[in-house]
Amino acid sequence: MDVRDRQSDPPALPGTPQNTPASPNSFDVSSAIVGPHGIRAGWLVLLFYCLFRLFVYILSAIVYAAAPDLVGSEVSPLTALLSELVPFFAMIAAGAIMLPVAQRRLADYNLRDTRAVRHFVGGTAIGLVSLSALVGSLELGGWAHIGRESLSLSRILTYAGLWALTFLLVGCVEEGVFRCYAQATLVRGINFWWALAMVSGLCLYARMFVSGDCTWGVCAFAALGILPCFLLHLKSAENSRFWQAAWATSTGFGFVHTLNHGENWIGIFAAAFIGFAFCVSIKVTGSAWWAIGCHAAWDWAETYLWGTADSGFVAPGHVFGTSPSGNPLWSGGTDGPEGSLLIIPIVLLMLAWLVVIYRRPRPAEISAPAATEQLAS
């Protein structure tokens, strides 16, 4: 309002409250929650995760009430498939609530891709080859022994289909939570300091409340990301928000694996590192479809094809049986192949493949509206 506008205003009546403009230095609590583009990114991620956990609890209670014999029964390919439906539908329910809250479409969460099928199939092939190369390297080095299981052809085909559906659900849920919702949301409004606060909080919580040495894997990955993300921050690099979000979500991905039994610190570091590779796949392909396919095929090959331990658990119904041998640093021990140091070069090769094969110049690499939005004022 200029001077002429103020002069044309009628005089205020006696006793009328006056609207005093806010001081530039005053702090508005609402601005820390709601920004110019709606609820800030950090709160959206936190709200989504809380809703996701709530629906997991509710659906688990429903399953327990409807089929108490199923809960606690011996794990089989069928029960594993049914159990993975709970987090899948919980994610769908949480997403159905959060989409209108964030005023976004499903495709905005790293799912828009005209070559989705091609990328999914490509990721599936690389996941299968990468895990098989890891197991083969362990066998050649004498750190694993592979044996043939006695399954009929009908059981081989049945188990193959059940485990494929199971791990497709696993890939959809874990990539949906971390690489789709969290990554696509945080990239809208994150900076180095908020990313640092997130990963520091995860490391602190892990060290305080998670037993075992596996928490060092979270801390090691978090520490490796500090310098490159800080340099991107200093240079105000165009894509710095993406990599800071990738740092935070990958650290979180490693952190949630500390809740599994049988993990070691190498396996946790590897989980975070693989999570980062999946973020890179989003950057170079433009969507999360490659990551979903790779994740599902990796787990399928690990559990069903080669029958290795996965976070200390060997599932029934697999083609081959693989047992660790020798130094756990190389064999992975009870953690399985993901707990072996050999997983590091495998993931590096995966990253190299992504950059060489999929890197193409694009007019718009990632849809991230409101890129200048910050998590808090």
CA angle 345, 351, 353 (to 5 degrees): 105
CB atoms within 10 A of CB 114: 9
Confidence class for position 150, pLDDT limits 50, 70, 90: confident
Examine the pLDDT at 8 and tell me if it is beyond 50: no
Q: Please state the pTM of the whole predicted model.
A: 0.87
Which pLDDT score, from 0 to 100, does residue 314 have? Answer: 84
Confirm whether 130 is domain-assigned: yes
Confirm whether 298 is domain-assigned: yes
Confirm whether 193 is domain-assigned: yes
Confirm whether 75 is domain-assigned: no
CB atoms within 10 A of CB 210: 15
Q: 26-30, 51-55, 141-145, 346-350: which range is least confident on average? A: 26-30
Q: Which of 204, 228, 225, 231 is nearest to 215 (CA)?
A: 204
Domain that holds residue 258: 113-358
Q: Which of 255, 110, 131, 258 is nearest to 183 (CA)?
A: 110
Distance CA 241, CA 244 (A): 5
End-to-end Cα distance, the chain: 25
Confirm whether 299 is domain-assigned: yes
Kindly report, residue by residue over 335-375, the tens digit of the pLDDT: 999 999 999 999 999 999 999 999 765 544 444 444 444 44
Q: Which of 51, 276, 267 is nearest to 183 (CA)?
A: 276
Query: Chain-wide mean pLDDT for the chain?
Result: 87
Helix (H/G/I), strand (E/B), else coil: 360:
coil
Confirm whether 263 is domain-assigned: yes
Question: What total of structural domains would you count in the chain?
Answer: 1
Confirm whether 328 is domain-assigned: yes
